[in-house]
Chains A and B, each alone.
Chain A
Amino acid sequence: MPSKPAISYRNVSKSFGALRAVDDVSLDIAEGELLAVVGRSGSGKTTLLRLVNRLIEPDGGTITVEGRNVQDIDPVALRRRIGYVFQSGGLFPHLSVADNIGITPKLLGAPAAEIVARVDELIELMQLDRASHRDRLPEALSGGERQRVGVARALAAKPRIMLMDEPFGALAPLTRDALGEDFRELHRKLGLTTVMITHDMTEAILLADRIAVMRGGRLLAQGTPAELSASSDAYVLELLRTPRRQVERLNALLRQGGAA
Chain B
Amino acid sequence: MSLFNDPRWGEALSHLPDYLGNHVRVSLAALALGLVVSLPLAILTRNRPAPRAILLALASIVQTVPGLALLALFYPLLLLAASLALKWFGVSFSAFGFLPAMLALALYSMLPVLRNGITGLNGIDPALIEAAKGVGMTPRQSLVMVELPLALPVMMAGIRTASVWVIGTATLSTPIGQTSLGNYIFAGLQTQNWVFVLFGCVASALLALAVDQLLGLIEGGLRQRGRLRTALGAAGIAALVAATLVPTMGRSSSGYVVGAKTFAEQYVLSALLRDRLQAAGLSATARSGLGSSVVFGALKAGDIDLYVDYSGTLWANQLHRTDIKPRAELVAELKTALAKDNITLLGELGFENAYALVMPKKRADALGVHTIADLAAHTSTMSIAGDYEFFSRPEWAALQKAYGLQFGAQRQMQPDFMYAAVASGEVDVIAGYTSDGLIAKYDLVALDDPKQAIPPYDAILLLAPKRAGDERLKAALSPLLGKIDISTMREANLRASGNDANSSPDAVAKWLWEKIGRP
Within 8 A of B (CB), among A82-132: 84, 86-88, 90-94, 103-104, 107-108
**How far does the alpha carbon of A94 sit from the alpha carbon of B137 in the complex, in Å?**
16
Q: What are 16 sample pairs from A and B whose C-beta atoms fall under 8 A apart?
A: A53-B134, A55-B134, A76-B138, A79-B136, A80-B136, A84-B135, A86-B131, A88-B127, A91-B131, A92-B131, A93-B128, A104-B136, A107-B136, A107-B137, A107-B141, A157-B136
Q: Which one, B128, B136, B138, B149, contacts A90 given CB within 8 A? A: B128
A153 at the binding interface (Cβ < 8 Å): yes
Min CB gap A225→B, angstroms? 29
Q: Which one, A79, A87, A88, A92, contacts B133 given CB within 8 A? A: A79
**How far does the alpha carbon of A137 sit from the alpha carbon of B223 in the complex, in Å?**
13
Q: With A88-B127, A107-B141, A137-B225 as given contacts, are A94 and B149 in contact (CB-CB < 8 Å)?
A: yes
B130 at the binding interface (Cβ < 8 Å): yes
Task: Type the 1/0 row for A218-249, where 1 means its CB is closer than 8 Å to any CB of B.
Answer: 00000000000000000000000000000000
Give chain B residues whose Cβ lies under 8 Å from the Cβ of A80.
Answer: 135-136
B150 at the binding interface (Cβ < 8 Å): yes
Q: With A86-B127, A88-B127, A107-B141 as given contacts, are A94 and B225 in contact (CB-CB < 8 Å)?
A: yes
**How far does the alpha carbon of A88 sit from the alpha carbon of B134 in the complex, in Å?**
14
Give chain B residues whose Cβ lies under 8 Å from the Cβ of A91.
Answer: 131
Give chain B residues whose Cβ lies under 8 Å from the Cβ of A86.
Answer: 127, 130-131, 134
B146 at the binding interface (Cβ < 8 Å): yes
**How far does the alpha carbon of A137 sit from the alpha carbon of B133 in the complex, in Å?**
20
Q: Which residue of B lies closest to A53 (CB)?
A: B134
Give chain B residues whose Cβ lies under 8 Å from the Cβ of A157.
Answer: 136
Q: With A76-B138, A107-B141, A137-B225 as given contacts, are A90 and B133 in contact (CB-CB < 8 Å)?
A: no
Q: Which residue of B lies closest to A103 (CB)?
A: B135
Min CB gap B129→A, angstroms? 10
**How far does the alpha carbon of A157 sit from the alpha carbon of B132 in the complex, in Å?**
15
Give chain B residues whose Cβ lies under 8 Å from the Cβ of A137.
Answer: 225
**How far does the alpha carbon of A235 sit from the alpha carbon of B131 in the complex, in Å?**
33
Min CB gap A138→B, angstroms? 11
**How far does the alpha carbon of A157 sit from the alpha carbon of B135 in the complex, in Å?**
10
**How far does the alpha carbon of A173 sit from the alpha carbon of B284 in the complex, in Å?**
84
User: 14 new A-B pairs (CB below 8 Å) besides A86-B134, A90-B130, A90-B134?
Assistant: A76-B138, A77-B136, A79-B135, A84-B135, A86-B131, A87-B127, A90-B127, A90-B128, A92-B128, A94-B146, A94-B150, A104-B135, A107-B136, A108-B136
**How far does the alpha carbon of A84 sit from the alpha carbon of B146 in the complex, in Å?**
17
Most buried by A among B128, B132, B135, B149: B135
Interface size of A as a range: 20 to 34
**How far does the alpha carbon of A104 sit from the alpha carbon of B141 in the complex, in Å?**
12
Give chain A residues whose Cβ lies under 8 Å from the Cβ of B133.
Answer: 55, 79
Within 8 A of B (CB), among A44-79: 53, 55, 76-77, 79
Min CB gap A143→B, angstroms? 15
Give chain A residues whose Cβ lies under 8 Å from the Cβ of B225.
Answer: 94, 137
Give chain A residues whose Cβ lies under 8 Å from the Cβ of B150.
Answer: 93-94
**How far does the alpha carbon of A92 sit from the alpha carbon of B150 in the complex, in Å?**
9
Min CB gap A183→B, angstroms? 18
Min CB gap A31→B, angstroms? 22
Min CB gap B302→A, angstroms? 53
Within 8 A of A (CB), among B140-190: 141, 145-146, 149-150
Q: With A94-B149, A94-B225 as given contacts, are A153 and B130 in contact (CB-CB < 8 Å)?
A: no
Q: Which residue of B lies closest to A89 (CB)?
A: B131
Give chain A residues whose Cβ lies under 8 Å from the Cβ of B141.
Answer: 107
Min CB gap B226→A, angstroms? 11
Give chain A residues whose Cβ lies under 8 Å from the Cβ of B145.
Answer: 92, 103
**How far does the alpha carbon of A20 sit from the alpha carbon of B132 in the complex, in Å?**
26
Most buried by A among B134, B141, B225: B134
Min CB gap A173→B, angstroms? 24
**How far does the alpha carbon of A10 sit from the alpha carbon of B260 in the complex, in Å?**
83
Min CB gap B62→A, angstroms? 33
Within 8 A of B (CB), among A188-236: none
Q: In the complex the two chains form, is B135's CB within 8 Å of A55's CB? A: no
**How far does the alpha carbon of A103 sit from the alpha carbon of B133 in the complex, in Å?**
12
Q: In the complex the two chains form, is B134's CB within 8 Å of A79's CB? A: yes
Min CB gap B219→A, angstroms? 15
Min CB gap A100→B, angstroms? 9
Task: List the 7 closest A-B pairs by CB distance, nearest first.
Answer: A90-B131, A80-B136, A79-B136, A84-B134, A94-B149, A104-B135, A107-B136
Q: In the complex the two chains form, is A55's CB within 8 Å of B130's CB? A: yes
**How far does the alpha carbon of A144 sit from the alpha carbon of B180 in the complex, in Å?**
58
Give chain B residues whose Cβ lies under 8 Å from the Cβ of A76.
Answer: 136-138
Q: In the complex the two chains form, is B146's CB within 8 Å of A92's CB? A: yes
Give chain B residues whose Cβ lies under 8 Å from the Cβ of A92.
Answer: 128, 131-132, 145-146
Min CB gap A96→B, angstroms? 10
Give chain A residues whose Cβ lies under 8 Å from the Cβ of B146.
Answer: 92, 94
Give chain A residues whose Cβ lies under 8 Å from the Cβ of B138.
Answer: 76
